[in-house]
Structure 1
Amino acid sequence: MRELRQKRGLHQQDLASEDVSSSYVSLIESGKRVPSQAVLATLAAKLGVSPEYLLTGRSDTQAKELQLKIGFGDMALRNGANGEALQSFSEALAQSQFLDHALVRRARRGQAGALEKLGQIEAAIPILHELYDDPEVVVGSDEWAQLGVALCRCYRDVGDLALAVDIGEAALSRLNALGLDVTDDHIQLGATLMGCYHERGDLTKAQMLANRLLSVAEQAGARAGRGAVYWNSALVAESRGQTAEALALIERALALMAEGDNARHCAMLKQGYGYFLLAAPEPDPQRAKELLEQAREALLGAGSVGELADCEIDLARAQLRLGEVSEGGARAERALGLLGAEPTPEAVAARNTMAEAALLAGDTDRAAEILRTSGRQLGHLASSRRVAHLWQRTAELWQACGDAGEAVAAYRKALAMVGMPSLPLAAGAFTTPAPRRS
């Protein structure tokens, strides 16, 4: 009030009225009195500002402009303009003193979402933790559940499955203790935990949770939640060799998601369907390619870097099976370019696809060079079902290269990942030496 008065060239007596003396104005300015709402309104009118601005220092105009900036960030994030979204959220947060706490939380959530989609997951995690632990975020609310899903997903994607599972289990336990009505976001939380169980190789836990969630989702009538549960159930079925059941589940998920407006979820399901069609006992690479091309178009706008790279890798695999060897190899190389130099499961999958393309082109030396890099990167990754599969695939490719020694070593790594380490042979037992390299 003092700053505004001086800026306008007014004296304290200029703010006085029948209800407010100049001495009372002085007491307010020195912080010794708190004005009533009526007095606040009178003083604000004399100073030409809103009572809200006089009380908080937040300008209505500034607040509205920042709110529009946050809204633009939300829209940009939905449309896949993740860099623009991050810039908008960051600019709004730079003037957070003009925002209420709810808008600050919204901007912070958007900032974390943009960072995750840009592949900067380590930067997103501390923001998500801060929001998840905020006392103003009500435990059991949809906002709280969405933050739990994001945290679970981020820890899964950086390879910390133990922490991802801990967060998901603790969140579900708290929800069960509260006894709240089930919402779509609660089901999404359970589905994310189920995916973490699957990734870790806990197929029994994943199946038990799937059975419970499907029942709850059907009763709640939650379309997106049911789609997420069907998708993760399909992953479990495929891991158990039940390919026909997996395809049926993912078709049901796609039917549900097609009725909604979540382009990213639809794209992920189409990608998963394409992946299953390639892995089926009787593969259908042409249909897989069509689905994966549709998924790629959507993920260009709505997906994260890792999701887009995964789709590109599966599309490259479909091309290899259709005989489009040079195109498939080039696509896998582009996918690797999206991922950068850090060792990740996606990067290894891209390299393995490049190695397969090199083998199909008859370049065994290049395939072996790529596989050696894959092995070094795999050595940096924590144990998980996915990493075990990557070791297995690396072994198969070494076998195709004609290097039995490297193949056996990779197979042993894969077995160790799923809890089956090699047993030592008895002294004097027959062993087959690895072939010498020429």
Structure 2
Amino acid sequence: MDQSQSGTNGIGQRLRELRQKRGLNQQDLASADISVSYVSLIETGKRAPSETVLKALAERVGCTVDYLKTGRDDARVKELELKVAFGDMALRNGSNGEALQSFSEALANAPLLGEAMIHRAKLGQALAFEKLGRLEAAIQLFTTLYEDPATVPGSAEWAQLAVALCRAYRDAGDQMMSVEVGERAMKRLDRLGLDFTDDHIQLGSTLISCYYHRGDLTQAQLLVNRLTQLAEQAGSRVARGSVYWNAAQVANSRGQLAEALALTERALVLMAETDNARHLGILKLNCAVYLLDSDSSDLDRVESLLGDAQESVLEGGTAVEQAKVEIGFTRLALRQGTPDSAINRASRALGLLRGEARTDSAFARVLLAQAQFEKGEEQAAAETLRAVERELLQSPSNRNTAQVWRQAGDVWQANGHVAEAMALYQRALTGAGLPPLQAPARMTVPLS
């Protein structure tokens, strides 16, 4: 085959690949001057198109004439690489929708990009999906990247993807898978016998959080003990702060509020010099929540912590994280005796959640009902608590939902509705793993 025919074949092949990638048929490329049969002849390499025809076809498939001719388009490649860079920057700034659009536009032109740039865009797209709450899409992409043969087990990138996958499953409510992924990754690291890096410590720290959300506090504490020692020996300030952050959650779940506060304060000191404003904001939110849980009288500090947290998550946090801050402000308003402010804050939280994170949404409604009772709006409060019941019945039965059942029961009881409170306490016991007894209980002694 002569050189001109070889070049013609290259044009036809690239034209066909781009057409098919964009979901077009040959009819879509045809016009008054270009027949369907002519398009077919070009794609099969039997006709060499003129410059005018090439320009028209390039416009229809979204590329340049140079790309159709040579397979190279340096200007277009540079433009797409800038889109990926913009996506990275948008993610850091919390503009998650813009980031997703940039990464998606770059990936729509993947044939023009190198493997490394495609990988970077896919990772960015997955992170954007996660931050936008589109967790199923995020999990699918994280899994593809994590299982890619090019991802070397034990590498920093592998550890970061394992963390992301654990986190996405956890936030999607699939606690079994979040723990399974984390445990498999930790065992893989143990078998490899590698020195622990910050990325590995972060993986273990995320697994602590997964255990915590599953309600497996014993495994969480065992891993806390192991990672605390490793982090103190070899971890950076950020790695140590991450361990203390999750250790505080475990301590709080065990009712050790003073320890939870101390660990969170320690994490804040360690992570104060980082540029991750979102993480610092969430830590300050957690600190404020533990102070509220402990009935601290230092409400000025609680308000200051919540204000700092709100500023941080508004810049780079998710809608759920912003809602959690509003829930914190709702609790503060109730402590300050300002039910109108509490109602406004709870309503903002519900608007941010929009049906997502049902447990957080149900808790916001519990606080809303409490504020309505304090204002004397008993009918509205009762309707709100009924909505809490409907929401929790659609949620998985676990420790977190059990806690909200209990909190809703407490609001009923505090306002003289004992029968309603008892019904919700039963729900709480069931959610905590204690189903209603079918016969009078008898004390049994375990076999020693």
TM value normalised by structure 1 = 0.83
Partners of 2:412 and 2:420 within 8 A in 1:
yes
Cα deviation code 1:55-104 (max 9, x no counterpart): 99343322222111111111111111111111111111111111112211
* Matches of 1:204 and 1:263, distance apart in 2: 31
* Matches of 1:232 and 1:139, distance apart in 2: 25
Amino acid across the alignment from 2:290: F
Judged with a 3 Å threshold, the aligned counterparts in structure 2 of structure 1 residues 3 and 294 are, in CA distance, closer, same or farther, namely farther
Amino acid across the alignment from 1:198: Y
* Matches of 1:312 and 1:63, distance apart in 2: 44
Residue in 1 aligned with 2:105?
Answer: 91
Amino acid across the alignment from 1:143: E
Per-residue deviation, 1:401: 3.4
Does the alignment pair 1:242 with 2:256? Answer: yes
Judged with a 3 Å threshold, the aligned counterparts in structure 2 of structure 1 residues 206 and 343 are, in CA distance, closer, same or farther, namely closer
CA RMSD across the alignment: 2.4
SS, match of residue 437 in structure 2: coil
Per-residue deviation, 1:221: 2.8
**Aligned with 1:138 (options 152, 174, 177):** 152
Judged with a 3 Å threshold, the aligned counterparts in structure 2 of structure 1 residues 158 and 146 are, in CA distance, closer, same or farther, namely same
**Aligned with 1:312 (options 304, 309, 326):** 326
Residue in 1 aligned with 2:339?
Answer: 325
Per-residue deviation, 1:243: 1.3
**Aligned with 2:308 (options 253, 275, 294):** 294
Partners of 1:388 and 1:417 within 8 A in 2:
yes
SS, match of residue 196 in structure 2: coil
* Matches of 2:244 and 2:315, distance apart in 1: 24
Partners of 2:324 and 2:360 within 8 A in 1:
yes
**Aligned with 1:75 (options 89, 95, 101):** 89
How many pairs does the alignment contain? 385
Residue in 1 aligned with 2:352?
Answer: 338
**Aligned with 2:74 (options 46, 60, 69):** 60
Partners of 1:285 and 1:319 within 8 A in 2:
no
Does the alignment pair 1:163 with 2:177? Answer: yes
Alignment of 1:26-425 (within 5 A): 57-342=71-356, 344-425=358-439
Judged with a 3 Å threshold, the aligned counterparts in structure 2 of structure 1 residues 3 and 297 are, in CA distance, closer, same or farther, namely farther
* Matches of 1:303 and 1:3, distance apart in 2: 56
Per-residue deviation, 1:422: 2.6
Partners of 2:284 and 2:308 within 8 A in 1:
yes
Per-residue deviation, 1:357: 1.4
* Matches of 2:118 and 2:257, distance apart in 1: 46
* Matches of 2:6 and 2:326, distance apart in 1: 58
Per-residue deviation, 1:342: 4.6
Residue in 1 aligned with 2:36?
Answer: none
* Structure 1 unmatched runs, 5+: 8-29, 32-52, 428-438
SS, match of residue 136 in structure 1: coil
* Matches of 2:273 and 2:306, distance apart in 1: 19
* Matches of 1:221 and 1:350, distance apart in 2: 37
Per-residue deviation, 1:395: 1.0
* Matches of 1:391 and 1:397, distance apart in 2: 10
Partners of 2:224 and 2:247 within 8 A in 1:
yes
Judged with a 3 Å threshold, the aligned counterparts in structure 2 of structure 1 residues 2 and 254 are, in CA distance, closer, same or farther, namely farther
* Matches of 1:137 and 1:354, distance apart in 2: 47
* Matches of 2:411 and 2:145, distance apart in 1: 45
Per-residue deviation, 1:411: 1.0
Judged with a 3 Å threshold, the aligned counterparts in structure 2 of structure 1 residues 92 and 413 are, in CA distance, closer, same or farther, namely same
SS, match of residue 395 in structure 2: coil
Partners of 2:201 and 2:235 within 8 A in 1:
no
Amino acid across the alignment from 1:423: L
Judged with a 3 Å threshold, the aligned counterparts in structure 2 of structure 1 residues 226 and 104 are, in CA distance, closer, same or farther, namely same
* Matches of 1:56 and 1:422, distance apart in 2: 73
* Structure 2 unmatched runs, 5+: 10-43, 46-66, 442-448
Partners of 1:345 and 1:390 within 8 A in 2:
yes
Judged with a 3 Å threshold, the aligned counterparts in structure 2 of structure 1 residues 320 and 141 are, in CA distance, closer, same or farther, namely same
Per-residue deviation, 1:116: 1.4
Amino acid across the alignment from 1:247: L
Partners of 2:7 and 2:69 within 8 A in 1:
no
Per-residue deviation, 1:367: 1.1
SS, match of residue 251 in structure 1: helix
Q: Find runs of 4+ consecutive structure 1 residues off by over 6 angstroms.
A: 53-56
TM value normalised by structure 2 = 0.81
Per-residue deviation, 1:6: 6.3
Amino acid across the alignment from 1:245: E
Judged with a 3 Å threshold, the aligned counterparts in structure 2 of structure 1 residues 244 and 101 are, in CA distance, closer, same or farther, namely same
| Identical aligned residues as a percent | 53
* Matches of 1:347 and 1:4, distance apart in 2: 63
Residue in 2 aligned with 1:38?
Answer: none
Q: After alignment, is 322-331 or 242-251 more displaced?
A: 322-331
Cα deviation code 1:376-435 (max 9, x no counterpart): 1111111322212111111111212322222112111211222222323559xxxxxxxx
Per-residue deviation, 1:209: 0.2
Residue in 1 aligned with 2:37?
Answer: none
Cα deviation code 1:341-396 (max 9, x no counterpart): 35611211221121121122121211110111111111111132221211111111
Judged with a 3 Å threshold, the aligned counterparts in structure 2 of structure 1 residues 423 and 74 are, in CA distance, closer, same or farther, namely same
Judged with a 3 Å threshold, the aligned counterparts in structure 2 of structure 1 residues 264 and 425 are, in CA distance, closer, same or farther, namely same
* Matches of 2:305 and 2:391, distance apart in 1: 30
Partners of 1:343 and 1:381 within 8 A in 2:
no
